[in-house]
Amino acid sequence: MAPKSLLYTLFSTLSVALAASIPQTDYDVIVVGGGPAGLSTLSSLGRMRRRTVMFDSGEYRNAPTREMHDVIGNDGTPPAQFRALARQQISKYNSTSVLDIKIDSITPIEDTAANTSYFRAIDANGTQYTSRKVVLGTGLVDLIPDVPGLREAWGKGIWWCPWCDGYEHRDESLGILGGLPDVVGSVLETHTLYSDIIAFTNGTYTPANEVTLAAKYPNWQKQLEAWDVRIDNRSIASIERVQNGDDHRDETGRQFDIFRVHFTDGSTVERNTFITNYPTAQRSTLPDELSLVMVDDKIDTTDYTGMRTSAPGVYAVGDCNSDGSTNVPHAMFSGKRAGVYVHVEMSREESNAAISKRDFNRRTLEKQTERMVGNEMEKLWKRVLDMHRE
């Protein structure tokens, strides 16, 4: 019958056209980064059966550290072990996958015909992947100066985060590395752990830096005196390891490293451990490539909810975002948070698409029915009325 096949054609055309408002992609979500932030997003999305792939180039910020701390339930766990267990547990959610490769580029694609957009990522092998959303957990890199001995000791007796590494060196002799303006901050963070503190300002004890420090702490000199902090302004040539705390620990978890600082004038001084103040930078060029709004070189998520960024569909989690918190618990929290928001955002889109499809179908059906059977109905109705009159 002609009307039936007409309806059928109409319906199938409609379904195809409107389903396209949810883009047909390889994945729901591409997560870039396999640290605690990316892993948390992957876990959260996997448990909601979202098709999610996590890319991991294997460059982890805490890779050099002996053990991680201040991560409850995992105090003292080596980071590699932590990540491996996370991957193993997440692997049972079979809508997730992990690819150990670097993502070289991510491009937002506008499909104007279907009134929708999605992302295309290309990995280091040139393979392309598409997704509806992108979560960046690409992390930071520490910009450690090229001073002989320093980088080798990074995370192994020389550290930047007292919560991460300070306690294992408690009551040992501490050195502060970095510029004069950062000295008071380092002391305030560590004075409960150390009483023998020397700030090695390495030539930065200058009038200009005194002004900078005084702007933040007008009585900075008195504060340093209060904690018996000495300033050593000699220029540092190298840092030599004399003893490795890996092999010198006690049963309480204390690590006994010894370093010898060599100054350019040939003199030396020994310290057990150092806190540093060096800058960081984005690990990845993807935030730049996606033209994300940045705050102090961090991806701005502060001005948006749910770890969203300035770019629709792009989220940023962990160290790389502007939360001002760079540690494993924050990476897990923010990764998890994005996982929730990205899932619900997609669900909302799916829900809207389903509603508009239904509405559209019903309206069209009514019109078509009216047009096709309208005349017949009128005749029938008249006949019914006539019958009643009789």
Ligand X SMILES: *[C@@H]1O[C@H](CO)[C@@H](O)[C@H](O)[C@H]1NC(C)=O
Is residue 206 involved in binding ligand X (CB under 6 A)? Answer: yes
Where would I find the beta strands (DSSP E) of the chain? 27-32, 52-55, 96-99, 103-111, 116-123, 128-136, 140-142, 158-159, 174-177, 197-200, 230-232, 236-243, 258-263, 268-271, 273-276, 280-282, 294-295, 298-299, 314-316
Pairing of strands 174-177, 273-276: parallel
Is residue 58 involved in binding ligand FAD (CB under 6 A)? Answer: yes
Contact region for ligand X (CB under 6 A) — 34-42, 160-168, 202-210, 329-337? 202-210
> Which residues does residue 299 pair with via DSSP β-bridges, in sequence order?
294, 321
Minimum CB separation of residue 357 from ligand X in Å reads 13
| All residues at 6 or more sequence positions from 231 whose CB lies less than 8 Å from its CB, including other chains | 180, 183, 198, 199, 201, 205, 224
Is residue 205 involved in binding ligand X (CB under 6 A)? Answer: yes
Instruction: Compose the 67-106 pattern: x for residues touching ligand X by CB under 6 A, - for all others.
Output: ---------------------------xx---x-x-----
**Which residue lies nearer to ligand FAD by CB, 116 or 326?**
326
Residue 102 binds which of ligand X, ligand FAD, none (CB < 5-8 A, kind-dependent): ligand FAD
Minimum CB separation of residue 239 from ligand FAD in Å reads 16
Instruction: Compose the 326-365 pattern: x for residues touching ligand FAD by CB under 6 A, - for all others.
Output: xxxx-x----------------------------------
Give φ, ψ of 215 to 5 degrees: -65, -35
Amino acid at 3: P
Of 24, 28, 22, 55, nearest in space to 122 by CA:
55
**Contact indicator for 176, 208 with CB cutoff of 8 Å:** no
The residue ranges that bind ligand X (CB under 6 A) are 94-95, 99, 101, 115, 125, 127, 145, 147, 150, 177, 202-203, 205-206, 233, 236
The residue ranges that bind ligand FAD (CB under 6 A) are 32-38, 55-62, 64-65, 68-71, 102-103, 137-139, 142, 154-155, 159, 161, 164, 283-284, 286, 318-320, 326-329, 331
